[in-house]
Structure formats: C-alpha cells, structure tokens
Structure 1
C-alpha cells in the first residue's frame, strides 16, 4: 500500500480526536509503519513536555498501520490490550513512532513500537499491543 493511500485511510477512518494530533505516515510496508506528530501547544503540558495520552495514541495508531502494512491491505483491527512505557520527557519539534508486527496469527496480531523525539532522536517511549482481526476481515 502506498503511503498516500494509507494517509487517506487514516483521515477517512480514524476518530477526529486522533486526527487532531495531525499524524503523518512517513513510511509503510510489510515490515512496519512510521508515523509522526508535530509537538504543538495542544499536546504539551507544563515544561513543554508531550502528554502521555498523545504518545499512547500515536503508538496505538502506528501499530494499527503496522498491521495494515503486514497484511498489505486495509482490514479493521481492534486493540485488545496496549502497554505503554514512558522512558523520558518528549520534547522537540515532533514525535516519530516506528512500529512493527512481531507475530501475526489468524485472529490476533502482536505489535511493538518505539517513539522518538526529533530532532534529538532520543527514545522517549515504547509500547506493545495485541490486535484482534475480526473473522470477516480474514
């Protein structure tokens, strides 16, 4: 799937509050997905630190697109669990999330993500999730 097509899928299928983060898909293929969000006053808290809710949302959304990339097609998936580990404060111009599927079965997909502040490149969070692939999507 082309990045441009994935960006359209994002805008056509995700909730307005997710889109309010201004996510941009910068890479997508069967090995994973990379998404970025700009650091704006809307997602920063005291000290210009990105709030954890924005980081968790970026991680989840990125892992959904890693699933799409792995499947090489848009198929709805449902997050069944999400674990996010905040490592240090996210500051800078944007947050970049690199996600990949680590195992894919018929009904469940397992993914992991790493989040970085740019331009420093410092890893700020990591996440893992399990996604359910509904039977009608197989």
Structure 2
C-alpha cells in the first residue's frame, strides 16, 4: 500500500490533531510494510506494581493503527476507532518503553483493519496483541 504521509510529516500531524499526546509517542519506522511506534513509558503510564498499565498499552495500539491508516489515506483526522480487541499476554518490563509493530491488513473505502503486536523494549515475546478497525470518512 502506498504511503501518502511519511515519517517526517507524521508526528507533527499527529500532535496537531491530538495535542494531548505530544511527547508521549515516537515513530521508529513507517513504510509500506510496517509501522513501529514507541510509548515513552513514564510514571503517568504505570499501574500499581510498577508496570505499564493496560490503558496505556491500548492507547499505543490505537494511536499506532490511526497513524498507520493516516499514512495510507492522507490527512483525514476524522477517522475513528470502531472496534478493538486486545489480549494482554505478559507483564512489560518496569521502566522500559513499549513498542508497537502495526500492520494494515486491509484498507477499503470505509474501513481500515489493522493488527498490532506490542513489545516491552528488551523482551522478545510480545506483551499484548490487538486487532483494530477504523471507520474512514466518506469521499476521501
């Protein structure tokens, strides 16, 4: 799938449409095959026990699917999440960033379907897996 917004433009676009996420995420890779985003895990993302919380990991998966979709359809800020299923499989490493490898499995006229694997930096096995669907604005 062709990329319409490259890595250099993506983070400024994301922070323009969602200023509340400024400084929370980084973009490690963006190409036709794969998007890799990073959650800069800090104290606001921790749960009791010192590990990254489920809502923080959900946020990373959701933002990754949004960015992967935007990269392919262009600046369509009104795309919205219509479904997400997430499995939390392992406890992330305390204090480590969380990485999300996201792939767009299908991009249609109305929907974008994505798969996301989340890894705690320094671990080989995934800590979570998510399947996300985005509804796309009409007439793009």
- Per the normalisation by structure 1, the TM-score is 0.88
Offset at 1:133? 0.8
Offset at 1:15? 4.8
Matched, 1:31 2:33: yes
The alignment yields a C-alpha RMSD, in angstroms, of 1.6
Corresponding position of 2:128:
125
**Aligned runs of 1:100-115 on 2, under 5 Å?**
100-115=103-118
Corresponding position of 2:6:
2
Q: Do the aligned partners of 1:68 and 1:75 also contact (CA within 8 Å) in 2?
A: yes
Corresponding position of 2:85:
83
- Which sections of structure 2, spanning at least 5 residues, go unmatched? none
Please state whether the residue corresponding to 1:47 is helix, strand or coil: coil
- Per the normalisation by structure 2, the TM-score is 0.87
Matched, 1:66 2:68: yes
More strand by share: 1
Q: Do the aligned partners of 1:67 and 1:100 also contact (CA within 8 Å) in 2?
A: no
Offset at 1:97? 0.3
